[in-house]
Amino acid sequence: MQPKIASLITEIDNVELIRDQIAAILRLELDNQVALAQAESVDPAPWTVDVYTERSGAFESGLNDPNRKTPFVNVWIDNESWDRSASNVMERQRGNAFINVDAVGYGTRKPGEAGDFEAATSCQRVLRLCRKILMAAPYTYLELRGIVASRWPQSRTYYQPTIDQAPVQNVYGGRFTMVVDFNEFSPQTTPETLEVLAVQLQRAETGEVYFDAEYNYT
Amino acid sequence: MGLRDLAARHFQQFAADTERGFGWSVRVVAPDGQELETSGFSTDIAQLIDPETGVSVSGRSASVAIPLQVLQDAFGELPQRVEAQNQTPWVVEFADILGEPHTFYVQSSDPDRALGSLVLMLGAWDAT
């Protein structure tokens, strides 16, 4: 059997594109929120968030700084499935992907404020910003019209770390799951020129339609 | 003297021995500002925190063990977590092995009334 796909497959799948687009939108809009806060002479700290994609390594930022405050989000693909009834077997498959936006907030106890409460509210604030940004009207199709059919906030879950020994830092995690319906395309057969053909359609006074065709014979 | 009394006495001796033992200088500050310079066993080690999102966060675990009798004599009560956010917590200060000072607040208190020790689990304290 001979290979049928003649060109190198270099394009990423649309689910990967959507994950990167979600992260890019969050980065762009959060930076803009910081700029807006600064323009209004407001402390931009509540809008300052580090954004990562597909992060699996441990975050070491707090190792030497127990008073670390900057929360972070990690955008990653959880799973995807395809709807056969809305697809065709040749070219286009209608996909449905769950993309998680995980957030971690930090807190430090100080006079008048409990560290665990600060960590929880920091994480909840970040996921609130993520939901508002990703569900904003201008991002109905995540700026990927033709690929994305719809996006929807599936769920928001919070986790309280349960460990035997309380750590010095207060850390609180949460997950915002976006579900996205989109089209995934597959490599197609490269067309081959069989014959060059020139045609002309003419309509007679009687209304009858004539089809003139010109063939190049060699 | 029974073995239990002997063990409690040994603990006090070991905790106080900063010259040849594992004793380490510790400063305890009560919410009312009363201070105690003493010694005990202190730890401050790295610990992975799992926020259950699949990505761990590097953190620290710090604690100090001090003889119950020393704290009772100095303060008339044992340090514990202060729940009210608007009240000053019990604060513990000690230096790491490099000599860098660190300040913590008492996150939880585990008194061992059999051996006579009090283990204080510590959290980050930002007094600024």
**ipTM here:** 0.80
CA distance, residue A74 to nearest chain B CA (Å):
9
Chain B residues touching A111 at Cβ < 8 A? 86, 88, 127
| Residue A133 binned pLDDT confidence (cut-offs 50, 70, 90) | very high
pLDDT of B29: 96
> Which residue has better confidence, A49 or A217?
A49
Closest residue on chain B to A123 (Cα): B51
Position A68 pLDDT exceeds 80: no
| Residue B76 binned pLDDT confidence (cut-offs 50, 70, 90) | very high
Query: How far, in Å, CA of A119 to CA of B124, rounded?
Result: 12
Query: How much is the pTM?
Result: 0.82
The minimal CB distance from A58 to the residues B58, B105, B128 is found for B58
The mean of the pLDDT values for chain B is: 90
Say whether residue B42 is in contact with chain A using an 8 A CB cutoff: no
> Measuring CA to CA, which residue among A91, A75, A83 is closest to residue A149?
A83
CB contact under 8 A, B50 and A58: no
Query: How far, in Å, CA of A61 to CA of B58, rounded?
Result: 7
Is beta strand A148-159 parallel, antiparallel or unpaired with respect to A92-107?
unpaired
Chain A residues touching B63 at Cβ < 8 A? 165
Query: How far, in Å, CA of A51 to CA of A74, rounded?
Result: 6
Position B31 pLDDT exceeds 90: yes
Say whether residue A58 is in contact with chain B using an 8 A CB cutoff: yes
Query: How far, in Å, CA of A103 to CA of A99, rounded?
Result: 13
Average pLDDT over residues B65-77: 93
Query: How far, in Å, CA of A178 to CA of A176, rounded?
Result: 7
Domains of chain B (ranges; CATH) run 3-124 (2.40.10)
Structural tokens at position A97: 């992907």
> Measuring CA to CA, which residue among B69, B50, B21, B57 is closest to residue A70?
B57
Position A67 pLDDT exceeds 80: no
CB contact under 8 A, B53 and A104: yes
Across A92-101, A121-130, A143-152, A163-172, least confident range: A163-172
Tens digit of pLDDT for each residue in A137-164?
Answer: 999 999 999 999 999 999 999 987 766 6
Structural tokens at position A14: 């649309």
Position B66 pLDDT exceeds 70: yes
Per-domain boundaries in chain A: 14-189
Chain A residues touching B122 at Cβ < 8 A? 168
Residue type, A139: Y
CB contact under 8 A, A55 and B125: no
pLDDT of A60: 79
> Which residue has better confidence, A28 or B17?
A28
pLDDT of B83: 84
pLDDT of A162: 62
The mean of the pLDDT values for chain A is: 90
pLDDT of A62: 65
Across A165-169, B32-36, B78-82, least confident range: A165-169
Across A155-169, B45-59, B61-75, least confident range: A155-169
Across A113-122, A190-199, B108-117, least confident range: A190-199
A 117-156 residues with CB < 8 A to B: 117
Asked if CATH classification 3.10.20.600 holds for the domain at A14-189, the reply, yes or no, is no
pLDDT of A38: 97
Average pLDDT over residues A81-98: 93
Is residue A149 a contact partner of residue A183, using CB atoms and an 8 Å limit? yes
CA distance, residue A125 to nearest chain B CA (Å):
16
Question: What 8-state DSSP symbol labels residue A195?
Answer: -
Average pLDDT over residues A99-121: 89
In whole angstroms, what separates CA B60 from the centre of its chain?
14
Chain B residues touching A121 at Cβ < 8 A? none
Return all residues near B23 (Cβ < 8 A) that are at least 6 apart.
B14, B15, B16, B17, B39, B40, B41
CB contact under 8 A, B58 and A62: yes
CB contact under 8 A, A167 and B49: yes
Position A90 pLDDT exceeds 80: yes
Q: Of A64, A118, A163, A168, which to mutate for an interface test with B (greatest number of B Cβ within 10 Å)?
A: A168
pLDDT of A190: 76
Position A2 pLDDT exceeds 80: yes
Residue type, A93: Q
Percent with pLDDT over 90 in chain B: 56
Query: How far, in Å, CA of B54 to CA of A157, rounded?
Result: 14
CA distance, residue A147 to nearest chain B CA (Å):
29
pLDDT of A66: 66
Is residue A114 a contact partner of residue B85, using CB atoms and an 8 Å limit? yes
Query: Which bin fits A134, alpha (ψ -120 to 50), beta or left (φ > 0)?
Result: alpha
pLDDT of A63: 67
Average pLDDT over residues A115-144: 95
| Residue A165 binned pLDDT confidence (cut-offs 50, 70, 90) | low
